[in-house]
Amino acid sequence: MSDSTNPNRTSSLIDRWFLAHPATVNETYFQHMRFAFGFAFWLITAGLAALVHAFFPALCETTASRILHKLVDRMNARH
């Protein structure tokens, strides 16, 4: 029998790839996905604000740093 059809190996891969890390922060897979998507959204928003600021220094002067500070606070509150 090949390793790919071994049920123990399959459940081990699912656990390692999808369940183990969320469990370390006491979340389900979908709770962790929601948090990560929200975090990614705000990181992209901060990056875009920084890009606007690079071209137009008078715009978005503190936007990226404010977002990053809030994200750091949010991350620290989880642990």
Q: What is the mean pLDDT of residues 4-14?
A: 71
Q: Could you give the C-alpha distances from 65 to 7, 44, 53, 71, 76, in angstroms and in order?
A: 47, 13, 11, 10, 16
- pLDDT above 90 (res 7): no
* CA dist., res. 26 & res. 23, Å (int): 5
The pTM of this model reads 0.77
In the prediction, which pLDDT does 19 show? 92
Q: Show me where the domains of the chain are located.
A: 3-78
